[in-house]
Amino acid sequence: MAISDYKVVSQTYWHKGEIIDYGVNMCGAPLEWPETMGEGIRVGIIDTGIDYNHVDLKNRIKAMINFTSKDRKDVYDQNGHGTHVAGIIAAEKNGVGVVGVAPKADLYIARAFDKNGNGEFEAIKNSLEWMIEQNVHIINMSFSSNKGSDKYHNIISKCYKAGITMVCAAGNDGESAGDTIGFPARYPECIAVVAVDINKKSAPFSSRGPKAEIAAAGKDIYSCFSRNSYARLSGTSMATPIISGCAALLQAKGIRRFKRRLTPDEISLLLNVYTEDISEYGHDSTYGYGVFSFGRINTPETVLAKTSVINSRYARSPRVASFISAMLRKPFLV
């Protein structure tokens, strides 16, 4: 297995001031910061490790572990991919560098991929089991493969039953071969994220297929990189942590307003309610339910219109149906 292919567009070791990348602005995260920046939400990242000395990340990391070798403390990111993902999710708002979607979320880092971005199933399995032990709310998985297995699905199901929202890269195989969404994004318990550019047009590299669920910016995304640097990268790997960060903000709002942890289905529903339809109304294989933005929702009528389209997916869960009713009675979305 390997992390989803990505392209390093540019890299720098310093820039003036603090930057909020267009991807963070596109998802509308700054609109939510007056209420929450993700405080108390535990976000797991399974990737190539992290630059734990990075000025924008060192205070957000709560636990780290390595499953690529016997040295469990060997978590430093020699690739850059994991550090970039972490920065998109939770880079601190500290006056320097960049700002993540949920800049006060807590990060739990599991290194399952080596410096070349390669990993074994056993390392991913161990990472997921560790995430359950850490009681994380969300797991970001910016990796993809074209093969699944019963063992793979079983551990994914175990995380889902533990109440963990799993946000996964759809993959970077484009549309040339029809349905190109990989695993674990393909599993029904996971949220499959596809990528768009600054104009909300589907990125040519982004995988497509019926399991596509939600879209976010994934082209030329500026975030943290190894050796205390910053870089612009492109890939569904970059769109995925934007959605993970948004899920963290929604979970924080749910706990704050409803005094309980929201279920994976409830988080998924809320994410989809906030989407902007880009092509055909409802769901399609290129954008899923659409491009996510907190700025999309401002009236109960909008909520009702969106839930009528997507609620059939959650019919199996009475808790989600009751949550919709509670959400409409209490202005969760404004």
- The answer for residues whose C-beta is within 8 angstroms of residue 78's C-beta and 6 or more apart is 48, 49, 115, 226
- Could you tell me the end-to-end alpha-carbon distance of the chain, in angstroms, rounded to an integer? 41
Catalytic-residue membership of 47:
yes
Cβ atoms of residues 171 and 236 within 8 Å: yes
Q: What φ, ψ does residue 230 adopt, rounded to 5°?
A: -135, 155
Cβ atoms of residues 191 and 167 within 8 Å: yes
Radius of gyration of the chain (CA): 18
Neighbours of 48 (CB within 10 A): 31
Catalytic-residue membership of 54:
no
Among 237, 244, 268, 293, the active-site one is: 237
- The answer for residues whose C-beta is within 8 angstroms of residue 235's C-beta and 6 or more apart is 4, 5, 6, 7, 142, 169, 172, 195, 205, 218
H helix or E strand, kind and range, residue 222: strand 221-225
Among 21, 47, 51, 106, the active-site one is: 47
Catalytic-residue membership of 244:
no
Structure tokens at 230: 């910053």
CA distance 134 to 150: 24
**Helix locations, 96-235, DSSP H:** 121-133, 150-161
H helix or E strand, kind and range, residue 108: strand 106-111
CA distance 164 to 161: 7
The half-sphere exposure of 225 on its side-chain side, counting CA atoms within 13 A, is 17
Chain mean position to CA 79: 19
Among 81, 84, 137, 283, the active-site one is: 81
CA distance 216 to 24: 9
Tokens 């997507």 map to which residue? Answer: 310
H helix or E strand, kind and range, residue 64: strand 61-66
* Catalytic (active-site) positions: 47, 81, 237
